[in-house]
Structure 1
Amino acid sequence: MKNKKIFDVIIIGGSYSGLAAGMALGRALKQVLIIDSGMPCNRQTPYSHNFITQDGKSPAEITAIAKHQVEKYNTVTFFNGIADKGTKTENGFEITTAAGEIFSATKLVFATGIKDIMPNIFGFSECWGISVLHCPYCHGYEVKNEITGILGNGDYAFEFGKLISNWTSALTIYTNGKSTLTQEQTEQLFSHNIAIVETAIDRFEHDYGHIQKIIFKNGNKSPVTAIYTRTPFKQHSGIPESLGCALTEEGYIKIDAAHKTTVDGIYAAGDNVSRMRTVANAVSMGTTTGMMVNKEIIFEKF
């Protein structure tokens, strides 16, 4: 067992939310450790958009700039590795890494994101974040007026069909099996020239992640430039649940307005708590979390 190192706050996850929280806490003179594995969920995405001052930069570039700025605060330390286990102690928490390092802090911040669960469609994962997209506000402008599909069914397909029609009129919903859209929904989509294809999908034909055709199990093909879909997910880290943090019905870590979880001393921010998966939102939540954690530490000691 290696020597235990003590901090005011341990932040698990060093992407946008984690770095933003680290900056807020570093500027508040707190001893902070950021543990990060360097594997963010958007690492395959070539460009990030709709984040003012950073529009069009790659996720890796934004992260590198942010980390360089956070590193200027000498109370913030980085550890490259995976947080493997969390334990409640008399004075706070201990985090053990996969390498066997043990770190201690009075507060924890989980900025660990989520892990998308890919459907069993050949080529889907290679296109995810490149031409198979989750958010029109992040990527819609770049594929405006292109031949576009929505992979989904039921209420999701209906609502997203209405939304995506803002960016293109060449829109088709692919239900990948029998449609569960209501008759009223179907008629409304048809009235806006949005087609519905129920044929089961076999694979995505693509060029280095840029989708070109949907190949169906019956051998038919549909040309397409972009696909929107919502994948199921699970928490990227199981440590919050192991420490007793409750999840919402959707599977996000439950937090209050101050970003506190249901366990005293533990906070969370970013994609692991919110459906709003944008860089700007992650940064905003991280900054707020850092401020709230610092305030709690000060008030507890005052």
Structure 2
Amino acid sequence: MLECIIIGGGPAGLNAALVLGRARRQTVLFDNNDARNKVTHESHGFITRDGVTPKEFRESAHNDIRKYPSVKIKRETIIEVYKEENGFISVKTADGQIITSKKLIFATGLKERLPHVEGVRAFYGKSLFSCPYCDGWEQRDQPLVLISENAHAVHMAKMIYQWSKDLIICTNGNKTISEEDKLLFERKGIIVREEKIARLHGTDGKLEKIIFEGGHEISRTGGFVTTELYQGNQFGASLGCALNENEGIIVDALGKTNINGVFAAGDTSFSGPSQLIIAASEGVRAAAGVNSELTMEEF
């Protein structure tokens, strides 16, 4: 019988699979290749892997995991998760297979909604990004824009300022920045524009202009957006997992949820997105929790 099912093939799920493979645990990792970072050209901040593309990272991780015969990777989509009467956990795939395991790790990550601006999707991951730590260095000292429709704009702008002092904040018609913060930004040379954006202009994903309703334009070469994050599925909630205010699955120090046998790792157990290296470490934590629990049950 399987000892662990992992749902999600991002850094958290992959690292969990690696650790469980080295622990000789019978494990299946389900990955439908629908990661949030697929649009990203490069990932940064992971020592020895700085600048790696998501595709390269996944291929390298799969090669590492293949060394351990107890782990299988299946490119299938899970559509249902439920508890059996004996306490084990079963999953149902899109093609109708039912697979049962003693333990389960959710590593499904988060989904995101971009600002309601025409054309923003074409630039996202190419010249507009969501994480200054991940992409700020590549945009240093350039004329940047922050497109934000929520109150997170204030914090985000202060972070971006570390990499470029030439910054314009666009709230796309939303009054989300207080007069006090506007004055603070003005003293720093940061411009706040509250008009609605008509569209973005550029070629091959490279931002060139922001065009406002009314026809006014400003030139920018790139920048950042604030996104709205949400769980891409309701698997955790359907099992009764406790959630935080941002719908992240609440876990303990070893990644265990309040439901026996169920663990979570990476962004799905966070209140927001984390860097690649942090998500991977969360996978290690959850795998150690699973292995420890299985070991104690054997005795």
- Shorter-normalised TM-score: what interval? over 0.9
Aligned counterpart, 1:298: 295
| Structure 2 residue identity aligned to 1:49 | H
Partner of 1:140: 136
Contact conserved, 1:155 with 1:181, CA < 8 A, in 2? yes
Contact map agreement 1:154 1:182 (CA 8 A) in 2: no
Residues 214 and 224 in structure 1, CA contact (< 8 A), matched pair in contact too: yes
1:114 and 2:110 aligned: yes
1:227 aligned partner: 223
Query: Residues 178 and 134 from structure 1, CA distance in 2 versus in 1: closer, same or farther, beyond 3 angstroms?
Result: closer
CA deviation vs aligned residue, 1:205-226 (integer Å, no higher than 9, x gap): 1322222211212122111122
Letter in 1 for 2:93: T
The residue that corresponds to 2:34 in the other structure is 39
CA offsets, 1:181-205, max 9 Å, x none? 2222111111100000011012221
C-alpha deviation, 1:129, in angstroms: 2.0
Does residue 23 (structure 1) correspond to residue 18 (structure 2)? The answer is yes
- Asked whether the 8 Å contact 1:123–1:206 carries over to 2, the reply is no
Q: Give the unaligned 5+ runs of structure 2.
A: none
- What is the DSSP-based 3-state SS (H/G/I as helix, E as strand, rest coil) of the residue aligned with 2:180? helix
Distance 1:189 1:142 in 2: 23
Tell whether the 8 Å contact from 1:153 to 1:181 is kept in structure 2 after alignment.
no
Partner deviation per Cα, 1:210-266 (whole Å, 9 max, x = no partner): 222112121221111222222112212221111111221122122222211221111
Q: Is the CA contact 2:6–2:105 (under 8 Å) kept in the aligned structure 1?
A: yes
**Amino acid of the structure 2 residue aligned with 1:88:** K
Check the 8 A contact 2:114/2:226 in 1, yes or no: no
In structure 1, the partner of 2:279 is: 282
Which residue of structure 2 lines up, in the alignment, with residue 83 of structure 1?
Answer: 78
Q: CA shift at 1:154, angstroms?
A: 6.2
The equivalent position to 2:248 in structure 1, one of 216, 234, 252, is: 252
1:126: how far off?
2.0
Question: When the two structures are superposed, what TM-score results if normalisation uses the length of structure 2?
Answer: 0.95
Aligned with residue 213 of structure 2, among 203, 214, 217: 217
Deviations, residues 71-103 of structure 1 (Å, cap 9, x unaligned): 110000111110110110114111000011111
Structure 1 range deviating more: 46-55 or 120-129: 120-129
- What is the alpha-carbon distance in structure 2 between the residues aligned to residue 122 and residue 178 of structure 1? 16
CA distance in 1, matches of 2:252, 2:137: 33
| Structure 1 residue matching 2:138: 3-state secondary structure | helix
Distance (Å, rounded) in 2 between the aligned partners of 1:241 and 1:153? 28
Write the distance in 2 (CA, Å) between the matches of 1:206 and 1:21: 40
Q: Which residue of the partner structure matches residue 3 of structure 1?
A: none
Superimposed CA distance per residue, residues 154-173 of structure 1 (whole angstroms, 9 cap, x where no aligned partner): 64222222111110010011
Q: Percent identity?
A: 34
Task: Report which stretch shifted further, 146-155 or 96-105.
Answer: 146-155
Q: Is 1:168 matched with 2:168?
A: no
Query: In structure 2, do the counterparts of structure 1 residues 292 and 230 end up closer, same or farther at CA, with 3 Å as the change threshold?
Result: same
Larger CA deviation: 27-36 vs 258-267: 258-267
Paired residues of 1:158 and 1:189 also in contact (CA < 8 A):
no
Q: Select 2:63's aligned residue among 61, 65, 68.
A: 68
| Range 120-129 or range 279-288, more displaced | 120-129
**What amino acid maps onto 1:48 in structure 2?**
S
SS in 1 for 2:105: strand
For 1:190, which of 182, 186, 190 is the aligned residue? Answer: 186
Find the aligned partners of 2:77 and 2:92 in 1 and give their Cα distance: 9
Structure 1 residue runs without a partner (length 5+):
1-5
User: Per the alignment, in what secondary structure is the counterpart of residue 271 of structure 1?
Assistant: helix
Q: Whole-Å Cα distance in 2 between the matches of residues 91 and 266 of structure 1?
A: 10
Classify 1:153/1:44 alpha carbon distance in 2 versus 1 (closer, same or farther; 3 Å): closer
1:301 alignment partner AA:
E
Counterpart contact for 2:230–2:246, Cα < 8 Å: no
Residue correspondences, number: 297
Offset, 1:276: 4.1
TM-score (norm. length: structure 1) = 0.94
State the alpha-carbon separation in 1 of the partners of residues 141 and 36 from structure 2.
27
Cα deviation code 1:43-94 (max 9, x no counterpart):
1111111111011121110111011101110000111110110110114111
Opposite residue 281 of structure 2, the aligned amino acid is S
